Amino acid sequence: MPDAARPSVVLTVRTVGEGTTVTVDVPADVPVEFGSCDSGCCPATDLDVDGAAGSIVADERTWSIANLSASVPLRVWNLERPIDQVRVEPGTVLAPPFDLAGIAGASGHVLDVFGPDQRPAWSPRCSSGCVPAWGLDPASRRHAVMVALVSPRMTGDVTAPLPTTLEIAEMLDISPRTVEEHLVQLARVLRLSPVTARGPGWIREALAHHALERPYVAPPGHDLPW
């Protein structure tokens, strides 16, 4: 008999791609496994998908995904805001911070997850030492140059190429020389050092490294700039 104190379904998982779509409704604390195995050496799964292997489980507050593949990482992203994404390495477990998610493996997008509303089991606390906008004036041109430079790496791909000085100048409708002056001033204001050996372009890489190491804190009344 179902426990009346718990909802009968807390998670829905749906296959994506060619062929018949399969949807599984999952009760709390019951794992649903996905994957495929041509050799027949692996246990049977609930959802047959290529290029990925894992398990998903949820309770009333959150859900988590375990990557059971020997070699294939999983990409999990927010279906409502795709730039929000996480990477689940083989043999690891992660609780994505969003309730509607897409999952991709070696064969691309294979699953959609409709999880429980994210309700933290703790009361939010203040954090001291938080400097909004990296300590820059969000209305300043210097802040705009910093955002334009680092945005490609702040939206999920930490290896994305950085825009050139000319591209930033065209985005902000200023001269390339002005962009270079702002980059030098940013390195001075943020007290940056080269990430590796000092060489051509070290300031740009140091600024991108700084942005990744110190997640952007939006000032009150502002949204994230990307």
Partners of residue 103 on adjacent β-strands: 76, 111
Report pLDDT for 7. Answer: 53
- Give the DSSP H/E element, type plus range, for residue 32: strand 32-35
**Strands 100-105 vs 54-58: parallel, antiparallel or unpaired:** unpaired
pLDDT at 155 (0 to 100): 77
| Residue in the structure block whose two tokens are 């992660």 | 94
Q: What is the pLDDT of residues 8-33, one digit of tens each?
A: 788 999 999 877 899 999 999 999 99
pLDDT in tens, 30-55: 999 999 887 778 888 999 999 999 99
C-alpha to C-alpha distance for 93 and 128, rounded to whole angstroms: 30
Dig out the tokens for 67 from the structure: 């990557």
Identify the band that residue 156 occupies on the pLDDT scale cut at 50, 70 and 90.
low
pLDDT at site 1: 36
pTM of the model: 0.66
Stretch 202-210: mean pLDDT, rounded? Answer: 93
- Look at residue 2 in the predicted model and tell me its pLDDT: 45
Give the CATH class of 11-114: mainly beta
- Tell me what the mean pLDDT of segment 94-99 comes to: 94
Q: Which of 139 and 198 is assigned the larger pLDDT?
A: 139
Place of tokens 């049977």: 44
pLDDT per residue over 165-203, tens digit each?
999 999 999 999 999 999 999 999 999 987 655 666 899
Rounded to the nearest 5 degrees, what angle is found at the Cα of 34, between the Cα atoms of 32 and 37?
140
Q: What's the CATH number for 132-213?
A: 1.10.10
Domain boundaries along the sequence of the chain = 11-114, 132-213
Per-residue confidence (pLDDT) for residue 196, from 0 to 100: 59
Neighbouring C-alpha atoms within 13 Å toward the C-beta of 222: 13
Give CA–CA dist 32/24, Å, rounded. 8
Least confident of 138-142, 162-166, 195-199: 195-199
Query: Both tokens of residue 84?
Result: 């929000």
Helix (H) / strand (E) element for 148: namely: helix 141-154
d(CA 57, CA 183): 46
Instruction: Answer yes or no: are the C-beta atoms of 194 and 116 closer than 8 Å.
Output: no
